[in-house]
Amino acid sequence: MDAEWPDEVLRQINYESFVHYIEKAVYEWSQNDQTVIGNDSDEACVKRLKYPENYWMKLRDIVSGLSGDGEFNKPKLVQWMLTGEFDTPMDLVKLPGVTFYQSMKNIL
């Protein structure tokens, strides 16, 4: 998670524990098959993802949701993390993919 965050954010984060515990939660979450519902050419699409596909999908979602879309306006998920909205890393990991997308686009 090599996000370009401002210094005031970077000073609040212990990267070793931050990244380690989120990755650990993603790994634990990914050990169960995940069902993804989306659209594929306007037809309903249901996919069953297994480890490691669901692991990499979730890491991609989290990194995008915490990084923003290029112009840093402190994505909402970063704000929530800094104010203690998540009791555990798993609370962040369990969010649906659309939430990370909305955070990245600052429409959350």
Question: pLDDT tens digit string along 50-98?
Answer: 999 999 999 999 988 888 655 556 788 888 888 889 999 999 999 998 9
Give the span between the Cα atoms of 105 and 76, in whole angstroms. 10
Whether 102 contacts 64, CB under 8 Å: no
What pLDDT is recorded for position 51?
A: 92
Amino acid identity for residue 43 in this structure: E
Give the span between the Cα atoms of 20 and 14, in whole angstroms. 10
What pLDDT is recorded for position 28?
A: 95
Amino acid identity for residue 47 in this structure: K
Give yes or no for residue 23 having a pLDDT over 70.
yes
Helix (H, G, I), strand (E, B) or coil at 66: helix
Task: Evaluate the CA torsion angle 15, 29, 78, 67 in order and state its sign.
Answer: positive
